[in-house]
Amino acid sequence: MQFQPFWFDNAMQEEAYALPLSLPAKHHCDVCIIGGGFTGLWTAIKLKQQQANLKVTIIEKGYCGQGASGRNGGAMLTWSTKLPSLSKLVGLEKALFLVRESESAVHQIAEFVCQHGIDCDCRIDGCYYSASNEAQKHLLAPAIKMLEDNNLNAWQHCDTQALINTGSAANISGHYSPHGGSIQPAKLVRGLKQVAESLGVTIIEQCQYTAHSGQSPLNVETSQGNICANHLVFAVNAWLPTLKPQFQRNIVLVSSDMAITKPMPETLKHLSLNHGAAIIDSRIFVNYYRTTTDGRLMLGKGGNYFSFANRMSDKFEQPSRYQTLLNNSLSHFFPKHNFEIDRTWTTLLTEVSLASRFLDI
């Protein structure tokens, strides 16, 4: 069987199998969206909620959730710790707006999945940013001061008891915010797909974009035929440099690698990790971990494999090649652990260069 990341495999096992829709002949739509992950599906849902009679079509080269949206760490984070950087890029007023919206989004997602009955392990239990050495202790200080100066700070310094909730004695300091949590990302994607379809969005999986031409309307060429569309949206994350070569020099494709244990609820309870908060350390290429409701611990590490020329390497479709590094991170936070690893995998991150942040992308 072809290798699949844990989250996506887990989601599809719980979903009744159905053949994907085929692209109808001479298909026309108002908006064609390339990519059936978080960005593409949320965009389609918002468009239909605002204008119910709009014809929206999503094409996805695999299955919705098979890309980065369904294989990330599932940590629900905000942009509050990025306020100083955001302020330099877009100005203070817009940066504060982005922080407020990102914090609100965490709770809006929880409300959305509850409203639509999406079972995706959504737990708004907050987020911990930790320090596991002296150099990391004060890295959040500039962001917290700036948040406080603008009456927007939700971060609280962890006392001894709160620090215990990070589950690891390696964390010697930390801050906690209630705006965060964790989620099963692939189940969220598959749930969003169902909601979008219920709103009348046409979703064609196993349909790969190849090119487009014209202006109004556009002729969108795919592996299943052509689509006539008034507007075209690219929601493809790490695949953007491949589809739009002009972004090759503005985006860096890098891996984040993950390992997840087999269920061990009693161990997690002993570690005070019987909650859904996300824990992230303060390294440049962070370690992060969270638990699941069935008692698994997932740990990830960012910034490992940098893809040459932003090519979509086969390494992204295999178990992580950094299993030793992941085990070292587990041992750092949980010394002498005997956790039984169920699976490792790799997700794809895109780092946007400073120059491209000012482009209309």
What local confidence, expressed as pLDDT, does residue 284 receive?
A: 79
Contact status, residue 155 vs residue 144, Cβ threshold 8 Å:
yes
**Which single residue is written with the structure tokens 């965490």?**
106
Phi and psi (nearest 5°) for 11?
Answer: -65, -45
pLDDT single digits (tens) 81-115: 999 999 999 999 999 999 999 999 999 999 999 99
- Cα Rg, the chain, nearest whole Å: 21
Least confident segment among 59-63, 196-200, 245-249, 283-287: 245-249
Least confident segment among 161-165, 229-233, 250-254: 250-254
Q: Which two tokens stand for residue 121?
A: 């392990």
| Res 254 pLDDT > 60 | yes
What local confidence, expressed as pLDDT, does residue 360 receive?
A: 30
**Does residue 232 or residue 2 have the better pLDDT?**
232
| Res 285 pLDDT > 90 | no
What local confidence, expressed as pLDDT, does residue 351 receive?
A: 53
| Res 65 pLDDT > 60 | yes
What local confidence, expressed as pLDDT, does residue 283 receive?
A: 84
What local confidence, expressed as pLDDT, does residue 310 receive?
A: 67
Contact status, residue 257 vs residue 345, Cβ threshold 8 Å:
yes
> Percent of the chain beyond pLDDT 70?
95
What local confidence, expressed as pLDDT, does residue 209 receive?
A: 95
How much is the average pLDDT of 210-226?
Answer: 93
Q: How confident is the model at residue 210 (pLDDT cuts 50, 70, 90)?
A: very high
What local confidence, expressed as pLDDT, does residue 350 receive?
A: 58
* Integer angstrom CA distances of residue 9 from 72, 143, 253, 295: 13, 38, 24, 17
Query: Which value, to the nearest 10 degrees, does the dihedral of the CA atoms of residues 106, 108, 111, 113 take?
Result: -70
pTM of the model: 0.91
How much is the average pLDDT of 227-247?
Answer: 85
What local confidence, expressed as pLDDT, does residue 352 receive?
A: 47
What local confidence, expressed as pLDDT, does residue 123 receive?
A: 97
Handedness of CA 79, 83, 85, 88 (dihedral sign): positive
For 104, residues 6+ apart whose C-beta sits below 8 A from its C-beta are: none
pLDDT single digits (tens) 309-331: 667 767 777 888 889 999 999 99
**Does residue 284 or residue 219 have the better pLDDT?**
219
How much is the average pLDDT of 146-174?
Answer: 96
What local confidence, expressed as pLDDT, does residue 237 receive?
A: 79
How much is the average pLDDT of 211-232?
Answer: 94
Contact status, residue 244 vs residue 346, Cβ threshold 8 Å:
no
**DSSP 8-state symbol, 134:** G
| Res 361 pLDDT > 50 | no
Contact status, residue 326 vs residue 257, Cβ threshold 8 Å:
yes
Residue 307: exposure state from Cβ atoms within 10 A (0-12, 13-18, ≥19): middle
Average pLDDT over the chain, rounded to whole? Answer: 91
pLDDT single digits (tens) 129-156: 999 888 899 999 999 999 999 999 999 9
How much is the average pLDDT of 8-36?
Answer: 93
| Res 47 pLDDT > 90 | yes
Q: Give CA angle at 279 (89, 98), nearest 5°.
A: 25
How much is the average pLDDT of 347-358?
Answer: 49
How much is the average pLDDT of 183-200?
Answer: 97
Least confident segment among 33-47, 128-142, 236-250: 236-250
| Res 355 pLDDT > 70 | no
Helices (H), the chain: 6-13, 38-50, 83-90, 92-115, 141-149, 160-164, 185-198, 240-243, 265-270, 323-333
